[in-house]
Structure 1
């Protein structure tokens, strides 16, 4: 009986690895997006005095979060030598995550901004994100850095800090998640 359980586990693990590798290949070919939650920035939400243009009023990456972003950059450079498009929420913790990855020019994209605690519009931003990546042509590996609430609304998955999802293109509801990639 133990042998049967072991064989089932082995077959399941092999399928998950094959699916994850196929997801990475789709990302490399511009047929999927890698959408990640910003790296570790301890706390929840932002202070009451939050100002988008002032990082000192926001929850920011700690040293562990900075290191997570650096490791993500190394991981992405191991996956492709192609130029990588990088889009980010305008929040400092997202911009910093994208910058520490050091894989390409970081382009702020307001539809990736957090809508936690009424700071944006859940429905409008999610619809705009889907429309943007349903109609645009992605020709190279592309990374989006955003927030937990955005990823959860888009996919139904509650990601950890620095966790990523590889999602199929063209983007449409329901979103097809090809793989979850741990931090």
Structure 2
């Protein structure tokens, strides 16, 4: 059991290390049709949600702290500086994602059920991932949409374990399979 726990700890540590590769290909792809920009919500201390979690009631959820709010604002400024503006930002219905999407200030914010978390008991992976893939298959992707979601969703779709506030840019194939083009590290 100890060996398994050590292996899991090492694996999770490796997966949580931010990308060190040059993010220039990710920035370039953000303006090319056929891509999507996935963002893990900004800094929200803790893991999961409290036991009394209720979707639609932010007082029962794990939320952004001041660091997370500033992180989202600065990420939005970085995106606007690179011409990523005037786009609909799709978001999970969790308050930490919705607030992140709003603070980016790059366009209208719209909930998308395919971005909802399946970490806890509210939804299952089998409910959420087909919705996300359907969106990616049917969306115009021109310009690439910004999708604010949770670690579990991004990891399930891409195999990447993003830090809070990190951007993962993907190329979307016709069958809604994705290929990671690059990662933009979170602002600390």
- State the TM-score, normalizing by the size of structure 1: 0.84
User: Is residue 45 of structure 1 aligned with residue 39 of structure 2?
Assistant: no
The answer to whether the 8 Å contact 1:33/1:144 transfers is yes
Number of the residue aligned with 1:31: 34
* Cα separation, 1, equivalents of 2:160 and 2:65: 24
Number of the residue aligned with 2:104: 101
Following TM superposition, by how much is the alpha carbon of 1:23 offset from its aligned partner in structure 2, in angstroms? 3.0
SS in 2 for 1:116: coil
- The unaligned stretches of length 5 or more in structure 1 are 1-15
- The unaligned stretches of length 5 or more in structure 2 are 1-20
Cα pair distance change 1:126/1:81, threshold 3 Å = closer
* Cα separation, 1, equivalents of 2:68 and 2:26: 25
User: Is residue 130 of structure 1 aligned with residue 151 of structure 2?
Assistant: no
SS in 2 for 1:28: coil
Aligned positions of 1:11-30 closer than 5 A:
16-17=21-22, 20-30=23-33
* Cα separation, 2, equivalents of 1:130 and 1:139: 17
Following TM superposition, by how much is the alpha carbon of 1:171 offset from its aligned partner in structure 2, in angstroms? 6.3
SS in 2 for 1:152: helix
In terms of Rg, which structure is larger? 1
RMSD: 1.6
Number of the residue aligned with 2:65: 62
Number of the residue aligned with 1:140: 143
Following TM superposition, by how much is the alpha carbon of 1:48 offset from its aligned partner in structure 2, in angstroms? 1.1
Following TM superposition, by how much is the alpha carbon of 1:28 offset from its aligned partner in structure 2, in angstroms? 1.0
